[in-house]
Copies of this chain bind each other. A is one copy, B any other.
Amino acid sequence: MAVTIRDVAKQLHVSITTVSRALDGYDDVAEATRARVIRASREMGYVPSRAARELRRKRAEAIGFILPTSQPRFADPFFAEFIAGLGDEAATRHFDLLVSSAPPNHVTERTAYERWVQSRRVDGIVLTWMRRNDWRVRHLAKEHFPFVAFGHPRGAIEVPSIGVDGAAGMRSLVAHLVERGHQRIAFVAASPDLGFQAERYRGYRDGLAAANIALDESFTAEGDLTRTGGYQAGKRLLALPNRPTAIIGVNDLTAIGVMRAASEIGLRVGSELAVAGFDGIEDTAHTDPPLTTLNQPVYDIARQAVGMLLKIIEGEALSEPHVLLQPELIIRQSTAG
């Protein structure tokens, strides 16, 4: 079996208490003793058992994240980056990251969250893709379970969150398009239940209003955040009698789908149709033509989210419970015409 604290203590002829305290950096242990303990531990390959420590400390030293897998074949590059950020920040703080997945609002989602909460498998949870009247928020708040949200859920409950100003981003994007001479600007949306959809859409409408352009309801189509959804919505919009000259996707994948719809009917993106997205995923730099987008620093956001979560877990007050970052408008050839 693995070497335990008792083995180290026996070897050194000290008590297990001493070993424990020496290793955890308490200051009431003689430096000489500490040095001996540390050396012996390393030599003997002693690493404290996580399970025992958890049991005693009542802390899992882990945080959880549940992927909102909307699709059977799920592969949003956004989440690879997000998870890398979560994992890196957690690791530097000596926490582990548990990842699971569940389709949003599906029954299995509920069990997934409850399992972690009830069994204290994790000390806190990171939420993303916030929804209107999100049951996860209600549930976690009721259980007094630490969590932090990426995105700002609207609702009665106070939620520590970090988000990107989707409305402001969209306003600046619309302004950019108007400046390029566009008046007929369409929007491919996502489910209205999604918080960032509402926010970005609001920015789109406000942007139009600011330019004195009347909102044309037929210029809003709904996708599902995937390329395929964007493609289908794009086809519908481009089949309109008086079709738009610019189309904004609620996210980059959607916009990429729109580009394909355009090129399929021989429309040149950039000169004959402007297309733009939101997220700033790496793909956008490599589409043909490169895609204008609103970049959000996903990796850093993830790290910051973990930082906030750990503070909450430690019981510290957050100096800033609602961090709001500005997305960066990256203008590329897809809106160059």
User: Could you tell me which A residues sit within 8 Å of B by CB distance?
Assistant: 2, 45, 47-52, 54-55, 58, 60, 62, 67, 69, 72-81, 83-84, 87-88, 90-91, 96-101, 112, 115, 118-121, 226-227, 231, 256-257, 259-260, 263, 281-283, 285-288, 298-299
Contacts and interface: CB of A to CB of B under 8 A. Distances in A.
Given A98-B96, A100-B87, A100-B97, A75 B282 contact: yes
B91 A101 contact: yes
A282 B52 contact: no
B286 A48 contact: no
A-B residue pairs, 3 tightest by C-beta: A51-B54, A47-B118, A51-B55
Given A75-B281, A288-B263, A60 B51 contact: yes
Contact of A119 (B47, B100, B282, B298): B47
A83 B47 CA distance: 28
Contacts of A283: 227, 256, 283
B288 A259 contact: yes
B50 A52 contact: no
Contacts of A62: 98
Given A51-B120, A115-B47, A98 B97 contact: yes
A87 B67 contact: yes
Contact of A77 (B75, B120, B298): B75
Contacts of A256: 283, 286
A84 B60 contact: no
12 contacts: A45-B118, A50-B54, A50-B120, A51-B58, A51-B120, A67-B83, A74-B84, A75-B282, A76-B77, A90-B100, A227-B286, A231-B286
A256 B288 CA distance: 10
Contacts of A77: 75-77, 80
A286 B277 CA distance: 15
Contacts of A75: 77-78, 80-81, 84, 281-282, 298
Given A75-B282, A80-B77, A119 B49 contact: yes
A213 to B, nearest CB: 30
Contacts of A226: 282
